[in-house]
Amino acid sequence: MYDFYLAVAESDLEAFGIPFAEMVERRMNMKPCVTLRDIVPGTAKYETMAETLETRCNGKVVFVLSKNFNNSEECQFLVQFAKTLDPYAKQQKLIPLVIDKNVKLPRVLEGLVCINYNAALRENWLGRRLWEAVHGGTDRHARHRRRTLSSPYS
Amino acid sequence: MQFFFSQSLQERFFEYDIFPSYDSSDQDWVTQYLMSELEDRQELRLCIHPRDFVPGLFVVDNIQAAVERSRKLMVLFTKNFAKSQWCMYELRLFIMEVQERGEELIVVFLEDIPAEDTTSEMEAASAVYPCYKWPDGARARKKFWKALYKAAIKGTDRDRSVLDKVLKKLFK
């Protein structure tokens, strides 16, 4: 079982995909499924990817949005397929992770809140944002460090 | 003296104290000044969109949720703010929400904006609600934070202004 599927273009795999996956496993305690590493090559590649995504990754995908994303056939397929699992963006199944500036979001991901990789890394929010995105973010109240102001009547 | 209390607002629980709306290019100012002063020094809880918005959900859903969960709404006017579609959307939403609640929008000018760059909503907001201009100089900035903090805690348990008024009247 994986925590999420990492949809990364082949040309970004070596430079970003693999190191990122390793960092997530080591530092954030989550297990991503990376295509070339974890999917057994053979015929019916797309079917295997779709099945793995739906059954073994809980339908969660992190899309690595770079300049190369739109040129990758695999990623285009994954984006279209994953959208059918969460068409109204209610279950946080599709998580865009933007690593380059001025990247145009594919139409299917328009209007979604993205994680800006560079900004999050700089401000040290990356681990927390990714964790919340993958695990549903429902423990937001639990991790309140400071009490908010309350009314004098409560 | 008359005291008006909107019961529902007073009793509601808010996850955030302030939800500031600003253009992403002003993020550096927000991190360097707004967050360090209001979150670290004054221990208020701000809803900062690159940190607190939930990834994978629609931006509009996040904005709506943040508005409902924030006690005070703030806008940071800059030239970039005037050009941003999302900022205009948030401004409109804030104005509607603030009117419904019967409260005030906190309008902060980070720089002087020439008239031709200002939108009509920004003009209206700066005419109706009290504006705070980010100044130069340490002393002026200290006054700025004092005024902003006062606006942010109005009506909460840190706000002593009502209590002070009552005490003054009692012991006149």
pLDDT digits (tens, 9 = 90+) for A93-116: 899 999 998 888 998 898 999 999
Give pLDDT, residue B160.
76
> Which tokens belong to A42?
């053979």
Q: Would you call B43 and A146 a contact, using CB atoms and an 8 Å cutoff?
A: yes
Distance from CA of A114 to the nearest CA of B (A): 5
- pLDDT: is B9 or A88 the higher one? A88
What's the pLDDT tens digit per position in B27-55? Answer: 999 999 999 999 999 999 999 999 999 89
Strands A61-65 and A94-98: parallel
B-chain residues near A111 (CB < 8 A): 58-60
Q: Residue B122: what pLDDT?
A: 94
pLDDT for A149: 60
pTM summary value = 0.84
Q: Judge: B157–A148 Cβ closer than 8 Å, yes or no.
A: no
Q: Distance, in angstroms, between A127 CA and closest chain B CA?
A: 11
pLDDT of residue B11: 64
**How buried is B19 (Cβ within 10 angstroms: 0-12 exposed, 13-18 middle, 19+ buried)?**
buried
Task: Tell me the ipTM for this assembly.
Answer: 0.81
Cα gap A50→A121, rounded to integer Å: 30
Taking only the tens place, the pLDDT of each residue in B104-124 is: 999 999 999 998 889 999 999
| Weakest-pLDDT range from A19-28, A133-142, B106-115, B125-134 | A133-142
List pLDDT tens digits, range B154-164: 877 777 777 78
- The DSSP annotation for B60-129 comes to HHHHHHHHHTEEEEEEEE-HHHHH-HHHHHHHHHHHHHHHHHT---EEEESS---GGG--HHHHHHHHHS
A44 token code pair: 């019916």
Rounded mean pLDDT of chain B?
Answer: 89
For residues A75-104, average pLDDT: 89
Determine the residue of chain B that is closest to A139 in CA distance: B54
pLDDT at A141: 43
Q: Which residue has the higher pLDDT, B167 or B62?
A: B62
Q: Which of B25, B32, B51, B54 to mutate to test the interface with A (most CBs of A within 10 A)?
A: B54
By Cβ distance, the residue of A112, A149, A154 closest to B57 is A112
pLDDT at position B1 over 60: no
pLDDT digits (tens, 9 = 90+) for A5-35: 999 998 998 899 999 999 999 988 899 998 7
**pLDDT of B170:** 85
Kindly determine whether residue B54 and residue A133, on different chains, have CB atoms separated by under 8 Å: yes
Task: Give yes or no for B57 touching A (CB within 8 A).
Answer: yes
Q: Please choose, from the candidates A93, A88, A86, the residue with its C-alpha nearest in 3D space to the C-alpha of residue A7.
A: A93
